Structure 1
Amino acid sequence: MSDDGDDGTETHGGDDAYFRRLVDEDALRAYLETELGPASTFEVTRHPAGHSNETLFLTWGDRRLVIRRPPPGETAETAHDVLREHRVMDALQETPVPLPETVLACENHDVLGCDFYVMSRVAGDVLRETEPERFANESARRRLGEELVDTLAAIHEVDPAAVGLADFGRAEGYTRRQVDRWGKQLAWAFERTTEEREVPVLREVGAWLDENAPETHPETLVHGDYKLDNVLYGPSSDPELRAVFDWEMSTLGDPRADLGWMLSYWRDAGDPDPAVPELETTFMERPGYPTRRELVDRYEQRTGTEFSHQRFYRALAVYKLAALGEMFFRRYLEGNSDDPMYPLMEERVPALAERAKRIVDGEEPL
């Protein structure tokens, strides 16, 4: 997916009714004129990527900007908290963590009917389905992986208190709460989905996680959804990670959970077939990309934090993916979604459960 908006960008002409729910162009123009000064060019398009907050590409004069806002309609009290996302990004502006420049944050619902924020638009590519041609060599592939893990280390090395984030979450007990939270989400999904089929392996994995959750853990800022397609690489042939996106799950917590999550999306050559082939990319199996073990070694050397209990953190990540899939399956069964991915979860969740069990049993090593 190219950041330039020419590939897969949906303008308001494609779906006028939905776009009008997202943007009141007259109110937005007036707001921007007040905050940024007048501009001769004003254009807004919607980018369809992502499944949570909405991303709008904005041209204001010669400035290329991005608006992040929640989806229209009712949202849960703590979901889609874009101003929380803005807060952490704004706090990290002067740190080594690569981010778009934050421009504006707006709580006035007279503008778009919701909170939103504006940030600069960064040129480059988000890697989803394949690697850019300029990275199709072993040297660039290795550097791409190193940039990914080095940036995660940079996030974890931030002193939250020094950047005004000392109260950004409750780090103590984060890992135990993760196990409990996703167990409850899964139990909710099972209330309906077990009428269609059982996933006993997932219950086994949940019990193992409950028994093996570390009692103590390091405490840092965590991103919460750190993976390859939530970062952007610049346009040069030498991979440079220029921006980390999607901070809505960020908090204070256990950095090893972030590492386990990132690794759950990273494949080694010879791995079993993807459990969810529709969502998992495999190009990092090509020669030159670092292995999971090499990424962990580099992270440990960079941070001084040992990735102990690695089976737990990697299994937890896949368990969370399976719980999400089972929740999607329940919504499909209840007629609450027309997403074509959701019915596939009838088979994909058991496959994820088997993967988590392989990690627990040491059959899918680093």
Structure 2
Amino acid sequence: MSDDTAPAGIDSAAVNAWLAEHVPGLRAPVTFELIAGGRSNLTYRVTDADGVARALRRPPTGGVLATAHDMSREWRFISAVSGTDVPVPEPLAYCADSTVTGAEFYVMGYVAGLVLADRDAAGELDELARRRAAEQTIDVLAALHQIEPRAVGLAGTAKQDGYLARQLRRWQRQVHQSGAPDLALLDEVHDALVAHIPEQRDGIVHGDYRPGNIAYGPDGHVLAVFDWELATLGDSLADLGWLLSTWEQEGDVVPPATPGPTAAPGFPGRTEVAERYARLTATEVSDLPYYVAFARWRSACIGAGVYARYRAGVMGDDGYLAQAREQSVRSQGEAARDAVRELGLLR
């Protein structure tokens, strides 16, 4: 018997049968709950008959752009870094058969930690724990970027050379397909970034590394890094640029690329974040303003795609505010344009 009230994206009977056969130790029937907060791939809490929770990830139920939402990519990367100094949920099983529930999916261990999705979430930690969370966030990113892809079986997983050029092409193409509210603005920033790409620093790129995609313990310790859907091989400084674009601090005029907890007391500022990373990785970070500008532009492109999918009704119902996303697309595009102007890349 299975749960007939499963959320959108889950064929309860078929997934129950598949899980019982492929996930060691799982006892059917299972129940499914869409975890609030997903903005792209859908994440469900899967609870079996013994009360053991696991997590299942699958793409949106429609409106998927080409090359986006590759579940096998997520699976390969969490499987590769599992057991390294980068904590991830335990990879349990991968389903390549899209007939089971309309798309490929994978199952991983459920990590019950605190996700610092916004400033309110930071209130769950005292200031000492916030400081530790910040330091741990940087330390884990540094550890990720020091992994040799070949050593963990990722060599040949993705193209590595020309990462920024490929990213600029990809997001430019996808934002045009999605129907962004102001393509002229995004095109202007794209052209300036393309003309001034810095020399690449090779490594693993998470693609969306920030406190909102990390589970922390009550002392601020990192328990697991989530949401590897954009992971690839390429320029590791892109991750640091993205983290800094989301790292809000008191007095900021420009909004962060995505909400986070870091304006709360106890979190260090962006300069300290960059300095700690540079020290841990022995990396020259003078080009960081470019990567932050790129991150804001990419944020606007991603936001436009997510906004289009929500309007089409294919992202599940988690209380998402479409109007706020539309405004965010515009503000991040304008912030990216201001950043490239400050760099002298655009008049």
TM-score range, shorter-chain basis? 0.7 to 0.9
Q: Which has the higher contact order (CA 8 A, sep 6+)?
A: 2
After superposition, where does 1:111-126 map in structure 2 within 5 Å?
111-126=100-115
- The match for 1:103 is 92
- Distance 1:239-1:212 versus aligned 2 partners, 3 A rule: same
- The answer on whether the counterparts of 1:27 and 1:110 sit within 8 Å (CA) in structure 2 is no
- The match for 2:241 is 260
Aligned-pair distance for 1:31?
2.8
Is 1:205–2:189 an aligned residue pair? yes
Name the stretch that deviates more: 351-360 or 285-294.
Answer: 351-360
User: Which residue identity lines up with residue 193 of structure 2 in the other structure?
Assistant: L
Aligned-pair distance for 1:322?
2.1
Name the stretch that deviates more: 224-233 or 64-73.
Answer: 64-73
Equivalent position SS for 1:131: helix
- Distance 1:304-1:46 versus aligned 2 partners, 3 A rule: same
Equivalent position SS for 2:195: helix
User: 1:239-274 CA distances to partner (integer Å, 9 max, x unpaired)?
Assistant: 111111111111100001111011111012211052
Name the stretch that deviates more: 24-33 or 260-269.
Answer: 24-33
CA distance in 2, matches of 1:228, 1:80: 21
- Pick aligned residue for 2:334 from 354, 357, 366: 354
- Distance 1:275-1:116 versus aligned 2 partners, 3 A rule: closer
User: Which residue identity lines up with residue 101 of structure 1 in the other structure?
Assistant: E
- Distance 1:206-1:42 versus aligned 2 partners, 3 A rule: closer
- The answer on whether the counterparts of 1:193 and 1:330 sit within 8 Å (CA) in structure 2 is no
CA distance in 2, matches of 1:265, 1:321: 10
- Pick aligned residue for 2:293 from 311, 315, 318: 315
User: 1:201-231 CA distances to partner (integer Å, 9 max, x unpaired)?
Assistant: x4543332122111x3111111111111111
User: Which residue identity lines up with residue 81 of structure 2 in the other structure?
Assistant: L
Structure number, greater radius of gyration: 1
- The match for 1:250 is 231
- The match for 2:125 is 135
- The answer on whether the counterparts of 1:41 and 1:62 sit within 8 Å (CA) in structure 2 is no
- The match for 1:43 is 31
- The answer on whether the counterparts of 1:222 and 1:252 sit within 8 Å (CA) in structure 2 is yes
CA distance in 2, matches of 1:56, 1:85: 15
- Pick aligned residue for 1:30 from 12, 17, 21: 17
- The answer on whether the counterparts of 1:266 and 1:284 sit within 8 Å (CA) in structure 2 is yes
- Pick aligned residue for 1:183 from 163, 169, 172: 172
- The answer on whether the counterparts of 2:254 and 2:335 sit within 8 Å (CA) in structure 1 is no
- The answer on whether the counterparts of 2:16 and 2:29 sit within 8 Å (CA) in structure 1 is no
Question: Which ranges in structure 2 are unaligned for 5 or more consecutive residues?
Answer: none
User: 1:5-29 CA distances to partner (integer Å, 9 max, x unpaired)?
Assistant: xxxxxxx78xx4x72x533333333
User: 1:10-69 CA distances to partner (integer Å, 9 max, x unpaired)?
Assistant: xx78xx4x72x5333333333333333573763322223212222121122253211112
Aligned-pair distance for 1:110?
4.9
User: Which residue identity lines up with residue 231 of structure 2 in the other structure?
Assistant: S
Aligned-pair distance for 1:134?
4.4
Equivalent position SS for 1:29: helix
Equivalent position SS for 1:285: coil
Percent of aligned positions with the same letter in both sequences? 36
CA distance in 1, matches of 2:74, 2:80: 10
RMSD after superposition: 3.0
CA distance in 2, matches of 1:347, 1:25: 36
- Distance 1:83-1:286 versus aligned 2 partners, 3 A rule: same
User: Which residue identity lines up with residue 57 of structure 1 in the other structure?
Assistant: R
User: Which residue identity lines up with residue 304 of structure 1 in the other structure?
Assistant: A
- The match for 1:3 is none
Aligned residue pairs total 334
- The answer on whether the counterparts of 1:275 and 1:351 sit within 8 Å (CA) in structure 2 is no
After superposition, where does 1:210-229 map in structure 2 within 5 Å?
210-214=194-198, 216-229=199-212
TM-score, length-normalised on structure 1? 0.80
- The answer on whether the counterparts of 2:164 and 2:197 sit within 8 Å (CA) in structure 1 is yes
User: Which residue identity lines up with residue 89 of structure 1 in the other structure?
Assistant: I
TM-score, length-normalised on structure 2? 0.84
Equivalent position SS for 1:117: strand
Is 1:270–2:251 an aligned residue pair? yes
CA distance in 1, matches of 2:177, 2:294: 18
Equivalent position SS for 1:288: coil
- Distance 1:346-1:74 versus aligned 2 partners, 3 A rule: closer
- The answer on whether the counterparts of 1:311 and 1:362 sit within 8 Å (CA) in structure 2 is no
- The match for 1:284 is 262
CA distance in 2, matches of 1:53, 1:347: 22
- Pick aligned residue for 2:68 from 69, 79, 92: 79
CA distance in 2, matches of 1:313, 1:219: 14
